[in-house]
Structure 1
Amino acid sequence: MTKRVGILGGTFNPPHFGHLFIAEQVFEAYQLDEIRFLPNAIPPHKAVVDGITDEARIALVKGAIANNTHFTIDTREITRGGSSYTYDTMLEMKQLEPDVQFYFIIGADMVEYLPKWYNINKLMELVTFIGVTRKGYRLQSDYPIETLALPLMDLSSSAIRAQLKAGQSVRYMVPENVYYAIKESQFYES
């Protein structure tokens, strides 16, 4: 039987319950064997946010997924460095694991952005995209993608960072161990 692996890429700056909720829902809905969290080095579509090292982001993701046996982390994009193009990463994964069926999970904001993705037509041959609902975006594409409507969680890493900068608590927005790691290291505080 072919192994079925979901990939959830992102900056995870910081990882929060929205990421974990999406990963778990896709895992169950598509009966996957594993979800791999894939932190970007430099996302081509987002501004890089200072204030936290790649190593710290990796540690936060590891903390966030620690209690889930079907969640793992893949640090290849950070190890490789430079711009993180999904096509390059998925080509490498497919070459190393030719028998795995990969499902790349994206929010509806990225579904709308798909036409601008690097080598999108070739990428579509390597993975099945699963688009999930996100507030303010439609889940429609000219590309053949799977869609999964989920209850909306209005959480974002940027909103969490803003709340921390303002000296407000983010408890219950992030997993407990991520919360304490952020508090202890004073990530994102001005």
Structure 2
Amino acid sequence: MRIGIYGGTFNPIHNTHIEIAQAAKRQFDLDIVYFLISGTPPHKDTSETVADLCRYDMVRLAIEGIDGLELDDREIYRAGKSYSYITFTELHQEHPDDELFFIMGSDSLINFKNWVKPEIISQYCNVLAAPRAGDDMDKIEQSIHECKNIFDGDFFLIDYIANDIASSSIRNKIRINPDIKNQMPEAVFNYIIEHNLYTQDSYTMEDVMRLDDEMKKELKVSRYVHTIGVAQTAYSLAIRWNYPAINAMVAGMLHDCAKCISDEKRISVCEKNNIPITDIEYKYPHLLHGKVGAYYAKEKYDIKDNQIAHAIEVHTTGCPNMSLLDKIIFVADYIEPGRDKQPRLDIIRSVAYSDLDLCVYMILEDSVNYLNSNPDMVDPTTIDTFNYYRKLLNK
């Protein structure tokens, strides 16, 4: 077989990556091209941007259903810095009778001789370089000529018309330029938004500790203990479902920030700030603590992230088509370690880490069963949410 190996951080993967893989596959008659997702490369720090498993998920979504494109995730599970010579030694051992082709960008080709043990890489594969927008083609041709004289294997230029799409540009502009979504598969764009990747509104443990001090002052002791349980559970669920874990913890810390104020205060805050109040919320003002909490998160606790505010707003009632963070906080509020009275709690806790939508549905099902015995307390939003997830699961 003729096997292409396309290495990169893919942070995030975009249309150009896919086009390059397909161009190399056609030009060099490759049977298959593997997208090799870099773990911790020597020259880049991916840990400060998004989780490795998020990059894996985005590549998986991008190439799903495209014939001849596959994934290789070995490097994201490798300890320490990830060097290409180690990977190609492994690949050669796995495919001793196959011909390997290493697909890379022209910038990588120009610096190839400075890599760690490039002679081992070139011993086991041919190198295919893809031009980038604005490249000095004479310089690339010169690099190919130099590499051919220095190393084993062969070096070729992929016949590809370069464009100016770049992962760095996507990371910087995705929140401000709506046209960016056209530079990547729709599933990748939706994943980025759903998992709140590349946002400027990131938080640290210092923020969590600051909010912890605030909640100690604002909440009753029992409510504060519950809040810590929700924050910790949200952190755990976020790691499981590849959501920024500290952001989820911040949402957990603030989800009940308006729980211990008076009903009159909750109504007053809503009326003064044009926050809609439904008839049932006027009748049972404690139901407003989500809406007021979302307002406090932004105005009182300086939280800029709209996903956090929305998760706080709907953490009790839920809403149809909840975001990932909405679901994480909704579930964390129900299953945190201090909870012990809900039915089938052990099952729901288990399902939270295997099927989040099913877990949301099970919680809603139990909530609706409880509310049916107290019909005057039923919030229509909860019923709408229950029906939405029942239909979703039936599909």
With the shorter chain as reference, the TM-score category is: over 0.9
Matched, 1:172 2:182: yes
Which of residues 135, 140, 161 is equivalent to 1:151? 161
CA distance in 1, matches of 2:25, 2:113: 26
1:92-111 matches, cutoff 5 A: 92-111=90-109
Secondary structure at 2:44 match in 1: coil
1:185 corresponds to: 195
For normalisation by structure 2, the TM-score amounts to: 0.46
Residue 14 of structure 1 is matched in structure 2 by 12
Counterpart residue identity of residue 126, structure 2 = T
Post-superposition shift, 1:17? Answer: 0.4
1:139 match: 140
- Cα deviation, 1:3-30, whole Å, max 9, x if unaligned, reads 0011111001100001001000000001
Counterpart residue identity of residue 139, structure 1 = I
Aligned amino acid, residue 91 of structure 2? M
Conserved 8 A contact 1:132-1:139 = no
Q: Displacement, 1:49?
A: 5.4
Partner of 1:89: 87
Deviations 1:56-95 (A, max 9, x none): 1100000000020210000000111321211100001111
Residue of structure 1 equivalent to 2:378? none
What one-letter code is carried by the residue in structure 1 that aligns with 2:51?
T
Contact 1:7 1:105 in 2 (8 A): yes
Partner SS state of residue 157, structure 2: strand
Aligned twin of 1:53: 51
Match of 1:113 in 2: 111
Cα distance in 2, alignment partners of residues 96 and 147 from structure 1: 26
CA shift in 2, pair 1:119/1:131, >3 Å: same
- What one-letter code is carried by the residue in structure 1 that aligns with 2:119? N
* RMSD of aligned Cα (Å): 1.3
Select the structure with the greater relative contact order (CA < 8 A; seq sep ≥ 6).
1
The code of the aligned residue for 1:167 comes to: I
Amino acid at match of 1:149: D
Structure 2 unmatched ranges of 5 or more: 149-154, 201-395
Partner in structure 1 of residue 23 of structure 2: 25
Q: CA deviation at 1:121?
A: 1.4
Q: Is the 8 A contact 1:102 1:128 kept in 2?
A: yes
Point out the more displaced range, 46-55 or 69-78.
Answer: 46-55
Letter in 2 for 1:168: N
Tell me how far apart the structure 1 counterparts of residues 106 and 191 of structure 2 sit (CA, whole Å).
30
Larger mean CA deviation between 115-124 and 132-141 belongs to 132-141
Divergent runs of 4+, >3 A: none
Structure 1 unaligned spans of 5+:
none
Q: Hey, what does 1:161 align to over in structure 2? A: 171
Cα pair 1:11 1:39 within 8 Å, conserved: yes
Structure 2 residue aligned with 1:80? 78
Moved more, 10-19 or 80-89: 80-89
TM-score, normalised to structure 1, is 0.93
Question: Is the 2:25–2:32 Cα contact (8 Å) retained in structure 1?
Answer: yes
